[in-house]
Amino acid sequence: MNYPCDNTYLQAMKLASTFASALVVLCVAVLPLLGSAQGQEPPKKEINFDKEIVPIVKANCIACHNKDNAKHNVMFPDKMTLEDAKKNARLWRRSGREVKAGHMPPKGNGTMKDSERKTFVTWVNATFPMPAAPATPPTTGGGGSTTGGK
């Protein structure tokens, strides 16, 4: 038998499904943008390295981590500058980790306040964000493909 509409129908379905996936991709891409545009950004309070971080390190860390006494090869210079700090991501990331875990300063040494820990860790995380995890591993097809054969 002859179905004159068959071809057109299939064509239309194919088109519709392509369009649908395109639409989904578009929505997924655009939604977060809309979301962030609507929500009022809370004012971000920048932590000042010189005024907040340096005093915390001087008060809580430098006694055991200075150029004459660099415990575990961890050394904070006498004069800390943001520029130098930024070149030393490893030191600060490690420090952030230790402080967050409560390992540093060692128990019974000094009195690092919770607020200081928080400031320190927040600053480290903001200044040295972990390298982004590799994006979802490349799948065949380059994304947006539908399952099932063509």
Give the interface with ligand HEC as residue ranges (CB under 6 A).
60-61, 63-65, 71-72, 74, 94-95, 98-99, 104-106, 109-110, 112
Q: Which is nearer to ligand HEC, 14 or 71 (CB)?
A: 71
Q: Are 47 and 92 in contact (CB under 8 A)?
A: no
Helix/strand/coil for 149: coil
Q: CA-to-CA distance for 13 and 10, rounded, in angstroms? A: 5
**Nearer Cβ to ligand HEC (94/128):** 94
Which residues, listed in sequence order, are joined to residue 69 by a DSSP beta bridge? 66
Rg, C-alpha atoms of the chain: 27
Please give the Cα distance from 109 to 81 (Å, whole number).
25
CB of 141 to ligand HEC, least distance (A): 43
Which of 115, 136 has the CB closer to ligand HEC? 115
CB of 105 to ligand HEC, least distance (A): 4
Residue 134 CB, nearest approach to ligand HEC (Å):
25
